Amino acid sequence: MVRLPYIDGFYEVKPSKIICLGRNYAKHAKELGHEVPKEPVIFLKPPSSLIGPKEAIILPRISKRVDHEVELAVIIGKRGRRISRERAMEYVLGYTILLDITARDLQWEAKRKGLPWTVAKGFDTFAPVGPRLVDKRELDVSDLELGLKVNGELRQLARTSEMIFKIPEIIEYISSVMTLEAGDIIATGTPAGVGPLRHGDEIEAWIEGIGKLEEDVLAEESILC
Ligand code: MG
């Protein structure tokens, strides 16, 4: 179970689903060879992929290329469906960081075959969150720096203002498809600079006003006895 510091106590992270945006930063869409989308591209990660701060991302044996993606995550505060963009912020509890860890080789293969991304996105430990939950009243997230370093080397650096679809539009779109429940997580997409992780790497991701999320990276072989 993942618990994050929130106001004076803790928040238990227990989403019914984790909804992720693909291609929500133009430069990242381009680096993967895609057009900028006309409506949000969404997919799901299972809640079983969650880990908390200072844990370990496990690189699965069946992938040769696992990438990091730093993202601003929105935590939903109350149930809603068909939410208008004008009322969307009423449904937001707060914000954290989510790393949308991706088995890129398996995703490439799925794209080539026209198959879903579930395997590439869904391994255990592929959704680190933290370091804390920031209440929406404490932070305007419209133009924050977000970045990621691996072993101290800068890999990703951008601003949330570069997002193609903004949070109210994203909530309007997702809730036109599926009911959003309190606790659900929306990961709003990653900027350019995604790249591979290796056994022994140390990740440091940050978003201005939220803090720094640190994770280790381990090969699956290294933890099997
Ligand atoms: Mg992503």
Q: Is the model's pLDDT at 24 over the cut of 70?
A: yes
Nearby residues for ligand 1 (ion, Cβ within 5 Å): 69, 100, 190
Answer yes or no: are the C-beta atoms of 40 and 96 closer than 8 Å.
Answer: no
Q: Is the model's pLDDT at 60 over the cut of 70?
A: yes
Q: Is the model's pLDDT at 29 over the cut of 80?
A: no
C-alpha 67 – ligand 1 centre gap (Å): 10
Q: Is the model's pLDDT at 88 over the cut of 90?
A: yes
Confidence of residue 225 (pLDDT cuts 50, 70, 90): low
Q: Is the model's pLDDT at 84 over the cut of 90?
A: yes
Higher pLDDT, 223 or 65: 65
Q: What is the mean pLDDT of residues 68-87?
A: 98
C-alpha 22 – ligand 1 centre gap (Å): 6
- In tens, the pLDDT along 131-187 reads 999 999 999 999 999 999 999 999 999 999 999 999 999 999 999 999 999 999 999
The whole-chain average pLDDT of the chain stands at: 96
Higher pLDDT, 223 or 152: 152
Answer yes or no: are the C-beta atoms of 74 and 87 closer than 8 Å.
Answer: no
C-alpha 225 – ligand 1 centre gap (Å): 32
Number of domains in the chain: 1
C-alpha 204 – ligand 1 centre gap (Å): 17
CATH at 132? 3.90.850.10
C-alpha 24 – ligand 1 centre gap (Å): 9
Fill in the DSSP letter of residue 39.
S
Which range marks the domain in which residue 58 is found?
2-223
Please report the pLDDT score of residue 160 as a whole number: 97
C-alpha 7 – ligand 1 centre gap (Å): 27
Q: Would you call 62 helix, strand, or coil by DSSP?
A: coil
C-alpha 222 – ligand 1 centre gap (Å): 26
* pTM value surpassing 0.85: yes
Contacts of 167 (CB under 8 A, 6+ apart): 74, 88, 89, 92, 141, 186, 188
Please report the pLDDT score of residue 36 as a whole number: 81
C-alpha 68 – ligand 1 centre gap (Å): 9
